[in-house]
Amino acid sequence: MRSLPQILRTTTVRLTATFILIFVVFSVALLTLIAWQSSYQIQQQQTADIDREVRQLERIDRRQGIRAIAFAVQRLSSQPGPGIYFLGDPSGVYLLGNIASVPAEIILEPGVYSFDYERFRPFDVTEEGEAKLRRGYAVVRSVQLPSGMRLVVGRDVVERQGFTAIIIQAFLAGVIGILLFSLVAGGITARRVLRRIDAISATSSKIMSGNLSERVPVTRRNDEFDGLATNLNAMLERIELLMQGLKEVTDNVAHDLKTPLTRLRNQAESALRAGAGDEDRRKALETTIAESDKLIQTFNALLMIARAEAGAPSGTLADVDISAVVADVAELYMPVAEDAGIELATEVTEDVHLRANRELIGQAIVNLIENAIKYYEPAEGKAARIVVGVRREDERVLIEVADNGPGIPPEDRTRVLERFVRLEKSRTEPGSGLGLSLVDAVAHLHKGTFRIEDNDPGVRAVIDLPG
């Protein structure tokens, strides 16, 4: 369980806080723009209304005279709303309107002004029957009409200010809401991300403690964390297999090499024993050299298997004419098979190419042919025959070595691919039990498979590679 200071120091929380800050700043800027634009539009609308009414009243005064302008101002003044109207004579004395007085400088100097005013309330009177006054703040335009009359038209801005206050309140509420929503959303997001990361960390800790069978949990969301978990699990599976293989190799080496090393020691002791003649010593040295050669072959095979399982560098893979490789190896072993009384035939499809490691592919084919010749037991009444072939099948390349001997029992066909495994009937033959393990490792290196099938009669060894 992480403590709060640890959580606050995590990259996830910092990134989440950064995104929240960006989101809040952008949202506040957007709301500010909306509030300012709304207030500005209201102000512009009021100014446009004032200018429009001034032009209409000037037109009435110009065309219809003083009586018409007086009637129009009286009608507008009696209407409820934010409108401000004042009509005075050429000297500025009040004649009509809904405000009692206007500062003299506003009346005498045409222009746009703002001032505090007192306005009559037509439907609100005192007990003495006098109309009550309403105080406010107005923006007005002052003009002198063609007839010489003084006209002031404006709008009360208190209502606009009230609307602006409503906008500001909504703006503040929106900002607070955005902050709370961002914090909640960011907290949930950070918690979910940290939970997934903690699961990976917990699995890693268990693996480091020695439990290689642990795997990172994968959900059904199929998101990037699941992709990472899948890749990590595949890597862990590979590491576990390699560690298991290393353990098996170590155990097998310790078991299978103990005997030849003991023989080497005994031969050396017999050569040094008192009374041993030169001939005995020579034989002991020859035996020691032969045993050493076998050990070197075993270690070379192990190194080649390790190299294949580790994966060849990309530079070692090239376009290889598999048909030519199979034909060359088969031709090389034809005299060997003939000496053993076995017919070695080929069924090679021409011009089969594959991106592969020529050396390893060639060694795998050599191992299969040598095994077929070494362990062949002909059936009664049948001529001994081994067929080496290569062919394409759909998008696959199949390299096959088949014989018509007694075959391998189905229950042993998978076991013989393990290192140092030798069936009982092959115990008397020289070998290390690594040949088929190398073939299997080479097949997996090339993203393919190696399998042993029934040839009815006999065995068919198949290297199945993607073409």
The pTM (predicted TM-score) of the whole model is 0.47
Quick one: CA dihedral 205, 206, 210, 216, positive or negative?
Answer: negative
For the stretch 209-239, pLDDT in tens is 877 788 888 888 787 778 888 888 888 887 8
Of the listed ranges 47-56, 102-111, 267-276, the least confidently predicted one is 267-276
CATH of domain 313-466: 3.30.565.10
Strand locations in 278-366 (E): 318-321, 343-348, 353-356
DSSP label of 130:
P
pLDDT higher than threshold 60 for residue 123: no
Select the CATH number that applies to the domain covering 224-309 from these four: 1.10.287, 1.10.8, 1.10.3470, 3.90.380: 1.10.287
In angstroms, the CA 149 to CA 49 distance is: 21
DSSP three-state, residue 93: coil
Share of the chain above pLDDT 70, in %: 80
Higher pLDDT: 249 or 353? It is 353
Q: Is residue 242 within 8 Å of residue 309, measured between CB atoms? A: yes
Q: Please tell me the predicted confidence (pLDDT) of residue 426.
A: 45
Other Cβ atoms less than 10 A from the Cβ of 113: the count is 18
In angstroms, the CA 313 to CA 446 distance is: 12
Q: How many helices (H) and strands (E) does the chain have?
A: 11, 12
- Structure token pair of residue 329: 């190896």
What is the mean predicted confidence (pLDDT) over 181-191?
75
pLDDT higher than threshold 50 for residue 204: yes
The CA-based angle 301-432-448, given to 5 degrees, is 50
Q: From edge to edge, which strands make up the β-sheet containing 111-125?
A: 94-97, 83-88, 150-156, 131-144, 111-125
DSSP label of 378:
P
> Where are the domains positioned within the chain?
1-211, 224-309, 313-466
- Tell me the DSSP string of 424-445: GGGTTS---S-HHHHHHHHHHH
Q: Please tell me the predicted confidence (pLDDT) of residue 252.
A: 62
For the stretch 16-44, pLDDT in tens is 778 778 877 887 787 778 777 877 787 78
Q: From edge to edge, which strands make up the β-sheet containing 396-403?
A: 343-348, 385-393, 396-403, 459-466, 449-454
Quick one: CA dihedral 272, 278, 279, 285, positive or negative?
Answer: positive
